[in-house]
Amino acid sequence: MKLSDGPIGLFDSGVGGLTVARALARRLPNERLLYFGDTAHLPYGEKSPEAIRSYALGISRHLIDQGAKAIVVACNSASAVALDVLKEELDIPVYNVIDPVVEYLHRHRAKRIGIWGTRATVASGIYPRKLAEVLPSADVQPMATPLLVPVIEENLLSGAVTDAVVSLYLNDDRMEHVEHLVLACTHYPLISSQIAKQLEKKVSLLRIPTIVA
């Protein structure tokens, strides 16, 4: 098989990365996609950086063995802590879901930015660090929102439980002056309508799959 004939490989810790896969399928209808959802180790956001790197490298090598010509790290936690290792170890292109978001915010000259992500993503400091390079005067408020992934993986995409968890995070003091809210986990778009209905109209809700694709 020629490299150009292979599928694009994507992976995440569960179903969240499918939001990116669907967006890519719409954008690149002639490409084949190969998806790996690592439900055995979900959620990545609660794992150590070393563990996430190990999972990411093992899955990427598996996807390459299946003929993948490129890897899309369809997971913020893995993009945050494993990207450098993947680029160093793999001989095919590797893409992440963080840089396109930073570029989007830079292009729109965002000033007050909220980041909802897993503990691993927030602890890495990658969003504030990258945004400081292109938007040094921006007010960036990262928030770990660890209850959201379990809710989504349990298929509680609407209802009282989801609304209560979303409300808990939206009422955090760090959200008070936010103008752009980044859903910095590929699971979160699955409940974006539940978030949007509680969000103040002045706040722009940024969904990673739409931006990446």
Which of 89-93, 162-166, 176-180, 200-204 bottoms out in mean pLDDT, i.e. has the lowest? 200-204
Catalytic status, residue 103: no
Q: What is the pLDDT of residue 4?
A: 66
**Annotated catalytic residue within 75, 86, 97, 138:** 75
Q: What's the mean pLDDT when you consider all of the chain?
A: 95
Is 75 marked active-site? yes
> Which residue ranges form the domains of the chain, and what is each CATH number?
3-96 (3.40.50.1860), 99-212 (3.40.50.1860)
Q: What is the pLDDT of residue 171?
A: 96
pLDDT tens-digit map of 19-55: 999 999 999 999 999 999 999 998 999 999 999 999 9
Can you give the pLDDT at residue 1? Answer: 35
pLDDT per position as a tens digit, 103-150: 999 999 999 999 999 999 999 999 999 999 999 999 999 999 999 999
Of the pLDDT bands very low, low, confident and very high (cuts 50, 70, 90), residue 200 is confident
Q: Average pLDDT, stretch 64-89?
A: 98
User: Whole-model pTM?
Assistant: 0.92
Of 182, 184, 185, 195, which one is the catalytic site residue?
185
DSSP string, the chain: --GGGSPEEEEESSSTTHHHHHHHHHH-TTS-EEEEE-GGG--GGGS-HHHHHHHHHHHHHHHHHTT-SEEEE--HHHHHHHHHHHHHH-SS-EEESSHHHHHHHHHTT--EEEEEE-HHHHHHTHHHHHHHHH-TT-EEEEEE-TTHHHHHHTT--SSHHHHHHHHHHHTSGGGTT-SEEEE-STTGGGGHHHHHTTS-TTSEEEEHHHHH-
